[in-house]
Amino acid sequence: MTEADLPRTDFHPYRWGDPAHRTTLPAAATETLAAFGVRTPEQPPAELAAIPLAEPAVDLAALAEVVGAAHVSADHDTRLAHTRGWSTPDLLRLRAGDASDAPDAVVLPGSHQEVVDLLARCEQLNYAVVPFAGGTSVVGGLAPERAGFAGVVALDLKRLDAVLAVDEVSRTATLQAGLRGVEAERQLREKGLTLGHFPQSYEGASIGGYAAARSAGQSSAGYGRFDDMVVGLVLATPRGTLTSGTAPKSAAGPDLRQLVLGSEGALGVITSVTVRVRPLPAERVFEGWRFPDFATGAAALRRLAQDGPMPTVLRLSDEAETSVNLADPAAMFGGGPGGCMAVTGYEGTAAEVAARRAAVTEVLTAAGGQALGTEPGEAWRTGRFRAPYLRDPLLDAGVLIETLETVTFWSNLSALRTAVTEALSTALTAQGTPPLVLCHISHVYETGASLYFTVACAQTEDPVGQWQQAKQAANAAIRAAGAAITHHHGVGTDHRATYAEEVGPLAIEALSAVKAVLDPAGILNPGVLLPRAEG
């Protein structure tokens, strides 16, 4: 299963992806879980039809006046499918039958102007609006605060799914915000182009979500983050339209594109972006590496990030993650090769790939790495979109499994990894559920890198509360270590308080002032990214 052959189907509200790709746990994993004290929960997940929803509290006819009756829905399953996102607490709540954050209605505008008109109408009616792209937020970005509003409307961008323009000379493409990542890539490939953006949520996420949450794909070493790719965008707000990006670079004032990127629906609805695209690579080679320990591997990655050459994909698992092969469920918990596994990937012309691979091999070998050949690299490439499918059977089996990420400077990376690992271990062990904490370096820069943690342990009777305690401990450790609360998942509601501490009150006041101008009634994603305005 590679990025080229992922179909995009509508997801079940709490089961990931295409039913055809669903998976079960291998026997080795089941035995290991029993040793960790994992027990199947007494209550199976709620049947969708049995999950109760409050009566919709919005005027559907008023919304239909803007987008047409066919594009407004308040039916049970549609509302459930737009309830929260894909964090483990989001899933656990829905599995427990709690859909209290469901929107009253789902509205699907068909043009930029309809989005502008819809926002104006929602402002008049005092409805909160949740921009909804792929719905894969893992930070509570789709669960705004309802208090003070007459209703909540999910503004699903699905109908804005066109490739509006491709400029092959400048190598840019203008994509509508509701276009699925998978579909954008498919259409670009027909023209011999690629966006090169492959987050692990690729099967579910959309262009607007990438932009609004400043996503980072697994090939970020070669293609950059999504916010690096955007050269222009169009934002619909309750006050009208804001466009930015008349040229690739400009010295005219602060870059307003960067103000909108990462604004998570709190400042407006991004309806299209113009992104840099690249020629589809003729050659792709992925390779595995082994390092004796994490420190040696991290130093090797830093050498590449600082002095080059850079592969297109570059990541390093720690010892624990190396021994639990998340990319290959069949081999999961089967015992890894020992040490720390790294993956390098190269994309480009055959000659360029060969030259870059040879140069990287020289650097990594000199830095203590052992080349394992293409087999483990290819296994990672073809297995990487399978890992999200594992969460469902693990939750079914009674495992609490969740991920979090952070980023810091190289000089602080080792201390950060130790601090977060210890905080998670201490918080969960104190609840009687000692965890497995896995970590990898997921994205590298000249000056630092991001760390991505996967945590697994037995569920207690209250797995949501259990995770909240662990997450708070991790957040506190990230703050105390001086790292950033998020590298690519975003702020949402889950990180809002820690983000406010990180950037300070003046920054929050300045951003809130921008929001007050673009969204004076505060209807856009209230409580996401920024605290609600008082009064």
Ligand X SMILES: Cc1cc2nc3c(=O)[nH]c(=O)nc-3n(C[C@H](O)[C@H](O)[C@H](O)COP(=O)(O)OP(=O)(O)OC[C@H]3O[C@@H](n4cnc5c(N)ncnc54)[C@H](O)[C@@H]3O)c2cc1C
Binding residues (CB under 6 A) for ligand X: these are 85-86, 130-138, 141-142, 157, 177, 199-201, 204-206, 208-210, 212-213, 215-216, 264-265, 269-270, 388, 488-490, 492, 525, 528
Comparing CB distances to ligand X, the nearer of 45 and 492 is: 492
Nearer to ligand X, 85 or 89 (CB): 85
Of 206 and 425, nearer to ligand X (C-beta) is: 206
Smallest separation (angstroms) from ligand X to the CB of 213: 4
Minimum CB–partner distance for residue 194 and ligand X (Å): 17
* Least distance in angstroms from the C-beta of 273 to ligand X: 9
The total of other beta-carbon atoms located within 10 Å of residue 140's CB is 22
CA distance 115 to 158: 12
Angle, alpha carbons 498-511-195 (nearest 5°)? 85
**Residue 53 CB contacts under 8 Å (≥ 6 apart), including other chains:** 76, 79, 80, 99, 102
Q: How far apart are CA 263 and CA 520, in angstroms?
A: 16
Residue from 20, 2, 24 nearest 11 by CA: 20
- Least gap, CB of 436 to ligand X (angstroms): 18
CB of 264 to ligand X, least distance (A): 4
User: What contacts 158, CB < 8 A, 6 or more positions away?
Assistant: 108, 178
Q: State the minimum distance, in angstroms, from the CB of residue 201 to ligand X.
A: 3
Q: How far is CA 306 from CA 26, 121, 444, in A?
A: 40, 51, 9
CA dist 286 and 219 (Å) reads 11
Structure tokens at 135: 């719905």
Which residue, 269 or 394, has its beta carbon nearer to ligand X? 269
- Spatial separation of the C-alpha atoms in residues 183 and 181, rounded to whole Å: 5
Contacts of 478 (CB under 8 A, 6+ apart): 406, 416, 419, 420, 484, 485, 498
Q: Which CB atom, from 425 or from 442, has the smaller least distance to ligand X?
A: 442
Quote the CA–CA distance of 184 and 227 in Å, as a whole number: 16
Quote the least distance from Cβ 307 to ligand X, whole Å. 26
Shortest reach from residue 130's CB to ligand X, in Å: 5
The nearest distance, CB 287 to ligand X, in angstroms, is 21
| Residue 173 or 353 with smaller CB distance to ligand X | 173
d(CA 241, CA 114) in angstroms, rounded, equals 12
Cα separations in angstroms, 408 against 168, 219, 224, 297, 452:
36, 19, 17, 17, 12
Two tokens at 171?
């190598």
Name the residue nearer to ligand X (CB basis): 212 or 229: 212
Of 356 and 380, nearer to ligand X (C-beta) is 380
- Residue 364 or residue 484: which is nearer to ligand X going by CB? 484
311 or 369: whose CB is closer to ligand X? 311
Phi first, then psi: what are they for 463, rounded to 5°? -65, -30
CB proximity list for 366: less than 8 A, separation 6 or greater: none
| Closer to ligand X by Cβ: residue 269 or 353 | 269
Minimum CB distance to ligand X, residue 335 (Å) = 25
In angstroms, rounded to a whole number, what is the distance separating the alpha carbons of residues 82 and 53? 12
For ligand X, give the closer residue by CB, 134 or 288.
Answer: 134
Displacement of CA 472 from its chain's centroid (Å): 20
- Are the CB atoms for 436 and 474 separated by under 8 Å? no
Read off the DSSP letter of residue 111. Answer: S
Q: What is the DSSP letter of 56?
A: P
Residue 353 or 407: the one with the smaller Cβ distance to ligand X is 407
Mode of pairing for the β-strands spanning 269-276 and 230-237? antiparallel
In the complex, which residue's CB is closest to ligand X? 209
Q: How far is the CB of 9 from ligand X (least distance, A)?
A: 15
Query: Between 290 and 402, whose beta carbon lies closer to ligand X?
Result: 402
Residue 398 Cβ vs ligand X, minimum distance, rounded to whole Å: 20
Least distance CB 144 / ligand X (angstroms):
8
Neighbouring C-beta atoms of residue 31, cutoff 10 Å: 11
Structure-block tokens of residue 243: 């466009």
CB of 344 to ligand X, least distance (A): 18
Closest by Cα among 497, 533, 510, 528 to 209: 528
Distance separating the N- and C-terminal Cα atoms of the chain: 52
